[in-house]
Structure 1
Amino acid sequence: MHLSHEEEDHNLSLSKFESMLKTNKVLFFDSEEFEDIILHYMDIGKSSLAKKALKLALEQHPKSTGLKLVQVEMLVFDDKLDVAEKMLNELYAIEPTNEEIYIQKANIHSKRDNHEKAVELLKIALKYTDDYADVYNLIGMEYLFMDDLELAKENFIKCLEEEPEEQSNLYNVIYCFEFLEQNQDAIDFLTNYIDGNPYSEIAWHQLGRLNYGLKRYEDALVAFDYATLIDDSFLGAFMEKAKALERLKRYEEAIENYTETIRLDDPTSYALLRIGKCHEKLGNETDALQFYNRTVHEDPLLDKGWIAITDFYFRKKNYAKALYFANKAIAIDSENKLYWKRFAAINKALNLFEEAEYGYRKAVEYGDYQLDTWLFWTDVLQYLGEFEAAVQTLLQASEYFPEEHEVEYRLSGLYFMLHETEKGIFHLSNGLRQNYKKRTLIQELFPVIWERKMVQDYIEKHKK
């Protein structure tokens, strides 16, 4: 790899400095060399070496403003804000047009959560700087801290206009658009940006991601395709491209792109799972199972893998195999509501109603408050003759679904079964009011109650 002169000089300075530390022989560096060395160690988190370099630098260049500003930066990093501020005031008296003084003052105010003052100082720095992009970026970050996303976006865009080829700036701009839910505006912005920067794989990737979010899968696919053509090692773009192809039901091509992500890096459980799903859609059941097994082997904690393999066998009505995998999943994570719901459904299909009731109870205990879970649980309790428990379960469910005819008709039937006629009529009335057409639920679940003349008369009366 060919290094630029600047990189070569930088590497030589670092080697020379580290050699000096080993030999204890004092060598001379100019102040800019020292600045680069100190900032390098700060960037890689070696603060003790940065401090050693700063001490030697100030001994050799005691009047260097640049080095003193680096010292200020280190003081701010160490939260010694008062000392840093005092030094900046002294430097300001000497060099009032040095933009770095305003930037560091802004940094101090930012650390004190005085972001408005930080912005004010950064705007002064703009008058004296040659690096507008850096200052606009800092102003944008301050507006982010203040939750003013519009002004943050405005400054990040200015930053990008100064350095259009610095693609990392794009992320900040798009973040603001998305946070403000201006996805179409973001698409328009990226389309315009791409006109001037057609080989920006980041811009194409972001354009694809935004279109995907708006369910424009064809447009997303085109954008991801460009991103992968520009950079054939762009793993994220291949992954997103595969997802778009899957949405478009182009499963074989989706498999190719998921496979490409595995070629580029270690296989991820997500990619293996999606390949399995695509094979299942294509009817390649053996391949689907192979990839589902690889998924759970790669990441035993990924619940989607265990669910995929359990659901596969459940759909095939191979309940013994489905139960085997549901139990394996529960052994790994006994508090996963999705596992317990499947455990319950499988046992229900096997007519093991006590086990099914236990599964639904555990699913709710671990946070599954979906309507169908409450209803399945209640129906199993009813089958077991646990009418009181079924009523209590439905009353719990009604707290989450206060206007739900499925709950009301069941409560009505159960109260009639318990000979609590008044309550039965009350809930029957609620059910009829909420959804008269679904009154036949009583007939399906409580045929004996449905046949009662009193119930039929009440339904007829409600119709009138």
Structure 2
Amino acid sequence: MEYSQNENFNNMSLTKFESMLKTNDVLFFDSNEFENIINHYLENGKIGLAKKAIKLGLQQHPTSINLRLFKIEILVLENKFDDANILLEELHYLEPNNEEIFIQKANVLSKQDEHEKAISALLMALDLSNSPQDDGDLYGLIGMEYLFLDQFENALIYFKKCLEVDETDYSALHNVIYCFDFLDKNQEAIDFLNSYLDGNPYCEVAWHELGRQYFGLKDYNKASAAFDFAIISDDTFIGAYLEKGKVLEKQKKYNEAIENYKITLALEDPTSFALLRIGYCYEKLGENDLAVQFFNRTVEEDPLLDKGWIAITKFYTKHQNYQKALHYIRKAVNIDNDNVLYWKLYAQINLRLNFLEEAEHGFKRTLDLGNYELETWINRTDILIKLGEYEGAVYNLLQAIEFYPESEEIEYRLGGLYFKLMENDKGRYHLKNALRLNSDYDFILEELFPNIINRQSVREVISSSKKS
């Protein structure tokens, strides 16, 4: 590889600096060399080395404004905002028209959630700027501050200004579309992208964004055409192939979708998303062996992707192979013990297999993890009733009733359980509530408590309620 003269000079400076650190010799560097060395370390996340370079740089060049600005950058990274502000005030006194001082001031304010004040500082920097490129960078920073404030209309203005300075600023382009999306302005986004493409007809990023907008509007033909243009503009653009595959799935063109997904596998290392989508497509085509093959490849590629484990588990559940389904969902639970979707499937599959204790444990974990659906409370209750754990079932329902105070399904079960526990007054109270809410659901008593419903006292409550 050939280096430019400047790159070669920077490499020599780095080698010289790191050699100095190893030998403890003190060598001289001019301030520009120190700036390049510090910038290199910051860009590569080597904060400790950057701090050493700043310290040595300021020892040799104590009046350097730029080196002190780097020191401020480090102070901000370390959340030492008071120290950073003191140094900024000193620098502002020395150079009141230095735009970089206002940029760093904005950085400090932003880190302290003072976004309005950060914008004011950046606008001051913009007034002092003499470079169109710097203007573009400042527009982007102002746009980001407006995003922090959820002021998407204002953010949109400044990200558009970025593109006026540099049409190839794809970060700004993504942010423009992000603002349109958040404002739910699909048509405005489409109009903007079409206008942008008039001047940049081979911009694969813009075609990709345009396809996404049409996909959101369910205009799959236009979405497909836009992704085709993205691929024409860059035939290695993996995102476009993936999005084209999603469109083809919506159009039920599963073989073509598979072709697009497989192209991405050839372009780079397989992604779990592409493998999963291929599995779904083969399942739709009835190619079950291939579907399972790709679902397995998905979880091998990314064991932390819950969609992969859920896909293969649901596949076997759908085909009533509950033992296989249980095998995979157990693997999933072992990998991520706090995934509520896994535990819900685990409980349902164990229930299908009549493994009641395991199913009850699954539903309890589901509840512990915050899934408070009525069905989950009811399923756990019914299992506890089958297991003869009536007091546990009552306690479970008393928790559920806090979330569903007007549920006839809860009230009938509480009524039956209290009669079972010989707490007849409570039983009558909850049975009356249940009948008031929905008298047609009294079959719940018959199914769960066949011995209770034939009691004279219970029949009287039911008959008197239905008469009134």
Query: If the length of structure 2 is used for normalisation, what is the TM-score?
Result: 0.79
| Structure 2: 5+ residue stretches without partners | 76-82
Aligned alpha-carbon RMSD (Å) = 4.0
Match of 2:74 in 1: 78
* Equivalent-residue separation in structure 2 for 1:302 and 1:28 (angstroms): 50
1:78 counterpart SS class = helix
Pick aligned residue for 1:267 from 248, 267, 270: 270
In the alignment, is the contact (CA less than 8 A) between 2:51 and 2:74 conserved in 1? no
* Matched ranges for 1:127-142 at <5 A: 127-129=127-129, 130-131=131-132, 132-142=135-145
Q: Letter of the aligned partner of 2:244 in structure 1?
A: K
Match of 2:348 in 1: 345
Q: Letter of the aligned partner of 2:126 in structure 1?
A: L
Pick aligned residue for 2:363 from 342, 357, 360: 360
* Equivalent-residue separation in structure 2 for 1:403 and 1:388 (angstroms): 21
* Equivalent-residue separation in structure 2 for 1:303 and 1:337 (angstroms): 10
* Equivalent-residue separation in structure 1 for 2:46 and 2:322 (angstroms): 58
* Equivalent-residue separation in structure 2 for 1:436 and 1:217 (angstroms): 49
Change (3 A) 1:458 1:281: farther
User: For each residue in 1:246-290, what CA deviation from the matched residue of structure 2 results, as whole angstroms up to 9, or x when unmatched?
Assistant: 344332223222222222222233332332222122111111121
Match of 2:261 in 1: 258
Change (3 A) 1:426 1:157: farther
Pick aligned residue for 1:282 from 282, 285, 291: 285
* Equivalent-residue separation in structure 1 for 2:4 and 2:51 (angstroms): 20
Pick aligned residue for 2:10 from 14, 18, 34: 14
* Equivalent-residue separation in structure 2 for 1:256 and 1:272 (angstroms): 12
Match of 2:391 in 1: 388
In the alignment, is the contact (CA less than 8 A) between 1:268 and 1:298 conserved in 2? yes
* Equivalent-residue separation in structure 2 for 1:290 and 1:406 (angstroms): 42
* Equivalent-residue separation in structure 2 for 1:346 and 1:109 (angstroms): 53
* Equivalent-residue separation in structure 2 for 1:383 and 1:36 (angstroms): 73
In the alignment, is the contact (CA less than 8 A) between 2:54 and 2:67 conserved in 1? no
Pick aligned residue for 1:373 from 371, 376, 399: 376
Change (3 A) 1:356 1:62: closer
In the alignment, is the contact (CA less than 8 A) between 2:37 and 2:53 conserved in 1? no
Shifted more, 46-55 versus 356-365: the winner is 46-55
* Equivalent-residue separation in structure 2 for 1:288 and 1:367 (angstroms): 32
| Structure 1: 5+ residue stretches without partners | none
1:414 counterpart SS class = helix
* Equivalent-residue separation in structure 2 for 1:117 and 1:354 (angstroms): 59
Deviation at 1:147, TM superposition (A): 4.5
Q: Letter of the aligned partner of 1:460 in structure 2?
A: K
* Equivalent-residue separation in structure 1 for 2:34 and 2:329 (angstroms): 62
Deviation at 1:74, TM superposition (A): 1.0
Match of 2:80 in 1: none
Match of 2:240 in 1: 237
* Equivalent-residue separation in structure 2 for 1:274 and 1:180 (angstroms): 30
In the alignment, is the contact (CA less than 8 A) between 1:450 and 1:456 conserved in 2? no
Deviation at 1:384, TM superposition (A): 3.1
Q: Letter of the aligned partner of 2:392 in structure 1?
A: A
* Equivalent-residue separation in structure 1 for 2:392 and 2:248 (angstroms): 48
Q: Letter of the aligned partner of 1:458 in structure 2?
A: S
Deviation at 1:455, TM superposition (A): 4.8
Change (3 A) 1:159 1:257: same
* Matched ranges for 1:29-108 at <5 A: 39-40=39-40, 42-45=42-45, 48=49, 68-79=64-75, 81=84, 82-92=86-96, 96=97, 99-100=99-100, 102-107=102-107
User: For each residue in 1:120-160, what CA deviation from the matched residue of structure 2 results, as whole angstroms up to 9, or x when unmatched?
Assistant: 34334334433221222222233344444432332222222
Match of 1:249 in 2: 252
Change (3 A) 1:172 1:458: same
In the alignment, is the contact (CA less than 8 A) between 1:273 and 1:291 conserved in 2? yes
In the alignment, is the contact (CA less than 8 A) between 1:88 and 1:105 conserved in 2? no
Change (3 A) 1:444 1:161: farther
Pick aligned residue for 2:460 from 439, 454, 462: 454
Q: Letter of the aligned partner of 1:71 in structure 2?
A: L
Change (3 A) 1:250 1:399: farther
* Equivalent-residue separation in structure 2 for 1:232 and 1:154 (angstroms): 32
Deviation at 1:107, TM superposition (A): 4.4
In the alignment, is the contact (CA less than 8 A) between 1:300 and 1:332 conserved in 2? yes
In the alignment, is the contact (CA less than 8 A) between 1:85 and 1:105 conserved in 2? no
Change (3 A) 1:398 1:237: farther
* Equivalent-residue separation in structure 1 for 2:15 and 2:325 (angstroms): 65
User: For each residue in 1:42-90, what CA deviation from the matched residue of structure 2 results, as whole angstroms up to 9, or x when unmatched?
Assistant: 434467579769978998x999xxxx45324312212253334323422
Deviation at 1:300, TM superposition (A): 3.1
1:252 counterpart SS class = helix
1:360 counterpart SS class = helix
Match of 1:164 in 2: 167
Change (3 A) 1:247 1:408: farther
Question: Quick one: percent identity of the two aligned structures?
Answer: 49
* Equivalent-residue separation in structure 2 for 1:418 and 1:70 (angstroms): 80
Change (3 A) 1:84 1:309: same
In the alignment, is the contact (CA less than 8 A) between 2:162 and 2:169 conserved in 1? no
What is the count of residue pairs matched by the alignment? 448
User: For each residue in 1:194-234, what CA deviation from the matched residue of structure 2 results, as whole angstroms up to 9, or x when unmatched?
Assistant: 34433322223333334545555555444434333322222
In the alignment, is the contact (CA less than 8 A) between 1:72 and 1:104 conserved in 2? no
